[in-house]
Every structure is written in structure tokens, then in C-alpha cells.
Amino acid sequence: MTSKHTREVPVLTIDGPSGAGKGAVAANVARRLGWKALDSGAVYRAVAASALDQNVSAEDVDVLVALCDDLPLSFEAGDDGIRVFLDGQPVDGRLRQEEVSSMSSRIASQSAVRAALMDLQRSFRQPPGLVADGRDMGTVVFPDAQIKVFLDASVEERANRRYKQLKEKGKDVNFLRLFRDLEARDRRDRERSVSPTVPAADAEVIDSTAMTLEAVIDRVLSIARERV
């Protein structure tokens, strides 16, 4: 249960579609405020990785729900994103693998899985404050958050950013395929019946298409400082 005390801890939610830069913005804002960070996508990814390791299908809801129990996850705000640890070990590499991305979006559309992960996500609300990155942080998980941001960017710009990131890592990427994958994932996330990716009514929408990362961070920090 969320205690009264916990509800008073400030939360800044950053929701938005894939590739809008939420992770880098959330990590930098958390560091500058000295707050904790939650990467909720990594919570779904951790369940997906564990399901893949144990040959559990995306339709086997009862087993998936059991996998959501007592996940020993922790987060650290790094320079370019939120780092993820499972049992104290870094797991970013495994969680970013393509098979895990695909499985995580499939299990994320199961309402029983979403419900089973609710308390875990809320448990990261600890003093002095929390920056939570995801799709439904401001609408479902922390509806009483003091500061809500919805970070968007055109699909072309998001695909461009992802393309450059992958190229810099020496990966062989096809821009058109990446663009189409992003469009398909957007549609699935926006149109699903449970917790679709939409801005909360009280969220500040930031279109980062023509903004630098530093400008977005400054904008989010100034919104935060107005409200807490």
C-alpha cells in the first residue's frame, strides 16, 4: 500500500513515445535535482527477459504475473540514461536486445501484468523525490504526481536520432525499417486499451523535434522548479 507519507514525496513524470529522449532527459533531470530515477520500460523489459529465459509465452498470463513478484530491480541516473541493475548486476545490454524489446511490448498489453507491476513501480517513490520515465507514469501509476511532462517529437526525428545512435555504436541499420518499426510501435502503444501512451490532462507537452537535449532538460527543470 502507498502510505500518506509516500504520497507526499514529489514525483516528476516523463511520458511519451519511443525515441523521444525520455531516458536521457529523465536521468539528467534526476541528477540535477538529486532525486531518484525509475525507468518503467525496464520493469517490463525485465519481466520479458525472464519470460524468454524460461520459455514462457506472452499469452501465459498466470506465469507472467508470477514472474512480476519480487523483481530485485534498482536504477541509477547516468550521464546518458537511466542504468538498470537486477540483483545489483548491470543488465542494460540484455534488456535492450531486440527480442526483449519485442516481448516487452507484447506483455505490456496484458492488463494483469500491468496490475502486478503497479506496487513495484510505486515503491520507487522515495525521498527526496522521483523522476519516473514511461508511457503511463502521469496517467495511471502516479496520477497525483506534482509535475507531469509529455515528451514528444516527430516520428522522422525520433527515427533519425535512433539511427545516429545505432550508427555510432557501429551497428548496421536500415533507416526505412527503423522508421516503420517505430511507427508500428507508436500505433500499438497509443491505441492499446490498457494504459495507452497519451498525455495526462495536467501534463505539460514538450515537442522536442527542433530542440537540443540541453534545451529540453532546462525546460523540464524550469517546470519542476515552478511546481515544487
**Residues of this chain that bind ligand C5P (CB under 6 A):** 18, 40-41, 44-45, 104-105, 108, 134-136, 189
Least Å from the CB of residue 227 to ligand C5P = 21
Rounded Cα–Cα distance for residues 4 and 32 (Å): 26
CB of 19 to ligand C5P, least distance (A): 9
Whole-number Å distance between alpha carbons of 28 and 12: 13
**172: helix, coil or strand?**
coil
DSSP symbol at 124: T
Closest distance of CB 164 from ligand C5P, Å: 18
Strand ranges, E, within 80-215? 82-86, 89-90, 130-134, 147-152, 204-207
Shortest Cβ contact with ligand C5P: which residue? 41
Of residues 80 and 222, the one with the C-beta less far from ligand C5P = 80
Angle at 61 between CA 72 and CA 182, to 5 degrees: 80
Shortest spacing between CB 135 and ligand C5P, in angstroms: 4
Cβ proximity to ligand C5P: between 136 and 157 the closer is 136
Q: Which is nearer to ligand C5P, 4 or 203 (CB)?
A: 203
